[in-house]
Chains A and B, each alone.
Chain A
Amino acid sequence: MTSVAPVATTPGGSTKIRGGAAGRPSAAAWLVAVPFLAFAGTFLVYPTVLVLVGAFQDSDGAFTLENITTLFTGVVFDAFLLSIELSALTALIGAVFGALLTWAIAVGNPDGMLRRTVVAGSGVLAQFGGVPLAFAFLATVGFEGLVTKFLRDNAGIDLFAGSAWLFELPGLTLVYTFFQIPLMVIVFLPALDGLRPQWREANASLGGTSWTYWRHVGGPILTPPFLGALLLLFANAFSAYATAAALVSQGSPIVPLQIRGFLTGEVVLGQENLGKALGLGMVVVVTIAMGVNVLLQKRVAKWVRR
């Protein structure tokens, strides 16, 4: 409170809009926070509550658990299983290859072109790709894609001989990997940068090898952030919608596409609240993954601080 005192004693020339609030006690001070809180309340908290509450209501607004129990049956449950499978698989692939790529740029010049390019490119693909990523893959391994045509014309291999795999789990895995590896680079780079050169020197001066360094120093320090990043990647893939939506226009193999079905009215009327239950299910899964991640990050914070 000491910091407020000198401010409060200088009301001179402070009569404009917020100036009036300066000298008075906190009742007026709270007013400054009102626009943000009102906005967040209306456009963030209210829609969220609507979903969470609606999940427990029937179409007349009465309380019911039917939507929740429906989550564990039939196509809805299958979609959750496939979503979790897709997210876990791409998180694992993304984390392993992403960690390798992160290492490859972390040992280079921190202000070099290579690192700048990879980091900026990773940002684009991880966070802003969306629909363009779907088209990138159609251009590459779609029915008339560059690789498809090359293999067909030169090697006699038909990529689509077996099935329309690009629009099913294998295709989704390939496309999701294209934004999972870059996300890994973004979240894992600070952890690798946090490894101090002194630790490597200490290891070397004690007669250690590269192997003992990674086995006893680098590995143990990087394990928690690696697992944290793995969870983040899982949540990211689980939440992703745009790329899959642009790629798969028929059918709803994964949860976000099922929700699309509810929103665009492809599903039987009177079941709107089942869509909200699906939303609740997604929030629960993502929250668990993010929650464990936060706990891990807290434990490891002291190591990666620079």
Chain B
Amino acid sequence: MKQRVLRTIILLVLGVYFVLPLVAMAEFSTRGVGGSRSLDSWTSIVEDEGLMAALANSLLLSVTSAVLMLVLLVPTMAWIRLRLPQLQRLVEFLCLLPLAIPAIVLVVGMAPLYAWVNYFLGDSALTLTFAYTVLVLPFAYRAIDAGLSAIDLKTLAEAARSLGASWLTVLWKVVVPNIRVALIGASLLSVALVLGEFTIASLLNFDTLQVQVNLLGKRNAGVSIAVSLLCLIFAFVLLFALSYVGQRRRQTVAEEETLQGSS
């Protein structure tokens, strides 16, 4: 009983603390002239060409970064488990390294590098893919590592190989389908991270969603607050979906365990 009271108090107090700013954003972004309500801020989101272009950049970037992350990590991590265990430590270290190096510090080192990247590849915002793939490495590594740990990769790969499958086939038809839940999780996390990223894009002068939102804040607070609220809601929906993906994994594992137990 005492526990229930304490729990309710905590949830109420912190609930208000966290929900109040969101309510304030909704209120602020619907202010009209002379105390009336208006949806002008929300409708002008789609009319703002700069904002739409930046949103397109960010969406495209979130896809390219997730793809590059998968292409780089999945074969390497699977291969390391199968044939190159001596590289395990190095790859893990590299993937977790971005946690110890603040993004703002990474930008300092990337600025001269990006002078070269832009010289060779042009100064499209899509070149940020490289920087963002670095940023998502720790999250993606953990998700994929958990996925690979949950399956008996060696046996699966040997079985496929002994039936004549090439390594590429093993990767594409055995490894990927077996860890697809982990891959979905890793991809959703990188999409959310890329859509919310500001530090690197802003300091390397690329035009992404958050950079535009920040610029917009200086001339039209209502619109930038409306977009900010949209970003938060969108990221929430992504992560909420992710919690169901995680649950399905738990259930599948549990089902497999029951099957193994009964056979």
Contact = CB atoms under 8 A, between A and B. Distances in A.
Interface string B67-108: 000011101100110111001001100110111111111111
A246 B100 contact: no
Contact of A135 (B25, B73, B87, B131): B25
A119 B27 contact: no
Interface in B185-239: 192-193, 195-199, 202-203, 210, 213-214, 217-218, 221, 224-225, 228-229, 231-232, 235-236, 239
In terms of DSSP, what is the predominant structure of the interface of chain B?
helix
B133 A39 contact: yes
23 contacts: A10-B164, A14-B165, A16-B168, A16-B169, A19-B166, A33-B87, A35-B76, A37-B94, A43-B113, A47-B110, A49-B109, A121-B18, A128-B195, A128-B196, A129-B196, A130-B199, A132-B232, A135-B213, A135-B221, A146-B20, A178-B21, A263-B108, A283-B102
Interface residues on A, range: 35 or more
A12 B164 contact: yes
B242 to A, nearest CB: 7
B235 A26 contact: no
Given A104-B10, A146-B20, A260-B104, 11 more contacts: A14-B167, A16-B169, A45-B94, A117-B240, A138-B217, A140-B24, A146-B24, A238-B102, A263-B203, A276-B108, A276-B109
B157 interface: yes
Nearest to B212: A131
A124 B168 contact: no
Contacts, number: 285
A43 B197 CA distance: 17
B232 A111 contact: no
B97 A131 contact: no
A231 to B, nearest CB: 12
B173 to A, nearest CB: 13
Interface of B: 3, 6-7, 10-11, 14, 18, 20-25, 27-29, 71-73, 75-76, 79-80, 82-84, 87, 90-91, 94-95, 97-113, 130-131, 133-134, 137, 154, 157-158, 161-162, 164-169, 171, 192-193, 195-199, 202-203, 210, 213-214, 217-218, 221, 224-225, 228-229, 231-232, 235-236, 239-240, 242-243, 247
Interface in A237-274: 238-239, 241-242, 245-246, 249, 256, 259-260, 262-264
A17 interface: yes
Which 10 pairs between the two chains have the least Cβ-Cβ distance?
A47-B109, A239-B102, A132-B228, A128-B196, A146-B24, A18-B167, A19-B166, A279-B105, A242-B198, A139-B28
Contacts of B171: 18
Interface in A122-172: 123-125, 127-132, 134-140, 144-147
Nearest to B103: A241
Given A263-B108, A290-B99, A131 B198 contact: yes
A146 B23 contact: yes
A51 interface: yes
B210 A178 contact: no
A279 B164 contact: no
A86 interface: no
Interface stretch (A1-9, A74-82, A215-223): A1-9
A32 interface: yes
A6 B158 contact: yes
A132 B231 contact: yes
Contacts of B240: 116-117, 120
Contacts of B199: 130, 241-242, 245
Contacts of B232: 124-125, 129, 132, 136
B136 to A, nearest CB: 11
B71 to A, nearest CB: 8
Contacts of B80: 33
A15 B169 CA distance: 11
Contacts of B134: 40, 43-44
Contacts of A275: 108
A132 B229 contact: yes
B161 A146 contact: no
A49 B112 CA distance: 12
Nearest to A119: B243
Contacts of B106: 44, 47-48
B21 A287 contact: no
A5 B15 CA distance: 59
A139 B225 contact: yes
B239 A245 contact: no
Contacts of B213: 131-132, 135
A29 B112 contact: no
B105 to A, nearest CB: 4
Contacts of A263: 107-108, 111, 203
